[in-house]
Structure 1
């Protein structure tokens, strides 16, 4: 038996390794040629300390309190030289991937479909040469064919498959948008790097509020695919806002999720004054059905910077401090900027 371990480095790079039963994470990483920070490897110095974001493990009792205090252990801190997983795990490593003699993985794939799903959104489907592990909500850097430039796009599909998809904003004159709309064809080869990002779905242990703006819907489609696979025991509510009626995409998928996940609900919002949509305005105007639960809620937010700033201000004005707040800002042609408010 072995377990899938996601090592999430502080520069946003995630590397997946297999850890054998009874093997420490440190040993498994070294076996995969990833040099995690360490000095003693005996639970004495604390150099290999990280934080387990999800999963089950055993730390034993061989380490010293000076290396890992009882309070730290209670908060999910671990020593990778002592940590023996008993399930799949996600571990935050407080070091850049390059310092651990690794970096983002590079994969090759082929275009299978390019769909103009609206005037402002493109769906890109890719068949990779091998299955790709990622955390639902993460993104990849996709190299624009014929150039040395990359663009960052969030997955909109289930992790762990060799075929996956992205929902991409159609930017007039944009380098990748122009290629996708004007040149791309089935079979074209792509180079992708990643996965990347700390914006990903954590275990659902309480109500969840998802807030999406435009093509910021993409990571939530991936998260919902994962929840459909694993099941859902707590309410999850999505508010999805766009500028114009024609910008609303993915509605068929959202209705399917709502039909198959009893605890999932969603609302769409359009900001244009000219719209006849029943829900007008911004996402912050339509949080009446949000499961805020007096702050015992996990909030995920992905959208353009003005939307992120507006939502952060909304919670401050309401005096509500969510149990956790994960957000990702995006702008055309630039990598995602992620943040977290615990």
Structure 2
């Protein structure tokens, strides 16, 4: 048996390794040419310390408390030289990937289809080359090189990890580098280069109710998260509030309906800013967060959208004195994805 271990480095790069049953994470990493920090490899120095944010494992009892205290262990810190996984795990490594002699992955694929979904959003599908394994955590993003421009743009996956066809929701920005390529020059079968995955915005293990707040094409990472929840099953309540500026900016509603059918614990509502909207809920997502979905703070909140939306939600939580059990958010601009923080 082998387990998938996601190593999230300080510079945002994620590297996936396989860990054999009974093998330590440190040994598995070195076997796959990822030089995690280490000195003694005997649980004495603490140099290999990281933070396991998801998964089951055994640390044994052969390490010194000077290397890992009881308080640190209770907070999820681990010594990778002693950590033997018993499930898939996600580990935060407190150094840059370059210091571990590893780098962000490089992928190649072809344009499968380009579909305008609304006046402000486009779906791009990329078929990955044969023998390419696309591993990422639902919610993460990747850089896509824009052919002929010498530039790249960053987009969250909307597809399920491991699929041979990767999909993305892309905001259609007049004059934008990627938008111009997709609307004017791109051809089916054209080659694309991708670099990633990256990012600290990803779905954690669901142990309590979840509130997803999506703005515009910030819906993309939630489609990936929901696809995984459907695949693995989830009984905890999952509610999404999906906000856009205009009625016709609401996209992928059929996909959300399908998720709701397959995952009975999932529900969603839509909100439209435009006062002339026919939507029953107008305004901003902060106008429609009732106490039920906030569950008295016993909730994990995931937020992805443009900077004004993210800032408004942050201010709303502060003003209302709301402190979710965990809060993960990502704000994006037309040219980049920016990881702002997680608590």
Same fold (TM over 0.5): yes
Name which of 134, 156, 159 aligns with 1:157.
Answer: 159
Specify the alignment match of 1:88 in structure 2. 88
Deviations 1:6-48 (A, max 9, x none): 0000111100001111111111111111111111111001010
1:200-248: CA deviation from partner (whole Å, max 9, x where unpaired): 0001000000000000000000000000001111101000000011111
Contact 2:58 2:83 survives alignment (8 Å): yes
Shift of 1:284: 0.3
Alignment partner for residue 144 of structure 2, among 142, 156, 168?
Answer: 142
Structure 1 match to 2:172: 170
Superposition deviation, residue 335 in structure 1: 3.1
- Secondary structure at 1:87 match in 2: coil
Structure 1 unaligned segments of length 5 or more: list them: none
1:47 maps to what in 2? 47
Cα shift at 1:160: 1.1
Question: Which residue of structure 1 aligns with residue 326 of structure 2?
Answer: 324
Partner of 1:64: 64
Secondary structure at the residue paired with 2:281? coil
Deviation sequence 1:162-213 (CA, Å, 0-9, x none)? 2110001011110111001111111111100000000000010000000000
Number of the residue aligned with 1:104: 104
Match of 1:259, SS state, is helix
Contact 2:200 2:339 in 1 (8 A): no
What are the equivalent positions in structure 2 for 1:13-24 lying under 5 Å apart?
A: 13-24=13-24
Residue of structure 2 in register with 1:31 after alignment: 31
- After TM superposition, the runs of 4+ consecutive aligned structure 1 residues lying more than 4 A away are none
The match for 2:250 is: 248
Note if contact 1:297-1:324 (Cα within 8 Å) is conserved in structure 2.
yes
- The residue number in structure 1 matching 2:281 is 279
Aligned residues: 341
For 1:125, the equivalent position in structure 2 comes to 125
Give the structure-1-normalised TM-score.
Answer: 0.98
Q: Is the 8 A contact 1:198 1:338 kept in 2?
A: no
Query: Take 2:340 and 2:27, find their aligned partners in 1: how far apart are those partners?
Result: 30
Cα separation, 2, equivalents of 1:22 and 1:197: 29
Q: Distance in 2 between matches of 1:334 and 1:52?
A: 28
Pair 1:208 & 2:210 matched: yes
Distance 2:337 2:228 in 1: 24
Shift of 1:288: 2.1
Q: Distance in 1 between matches of 2:337 and 2:322?
A: 29
Matched residue SS, 1:292: helix
Verify the 8 A CA contact 2:238 2:265 in the aligned structure 1. Answer: yes
Shift of 1:290: 4.7
The whole-number CA distance in structure 2 between the counterparts of 1:199 and 1:216 is 12
SS in 2 for 1:180: helix
Mapped contact 1:131–1:163 kept (Cα < 8 A): no
- Quick check: 2:201–2:339 contact (8 Å CA) kept in 1? no
2:195 to 193, 196, 218: 193
2:3 matched residue in structure 1: 3
Q: Is the 8 A contact 1:199 1:338 kept in 2?
A: no
| CA distance in structure 2 between the partners assigned to 1:32 and 1:163 by the alignment | 26
Q: Could you say what secondary structure the match of 2:316 adopts?
A: helix
Name structure 2 gaps, 5 residues minimum: none
List per-residue Cα deviations over 1:47-82 (Å, max 9, x = no partner).
Answer: 100011111111111100000011111111100011
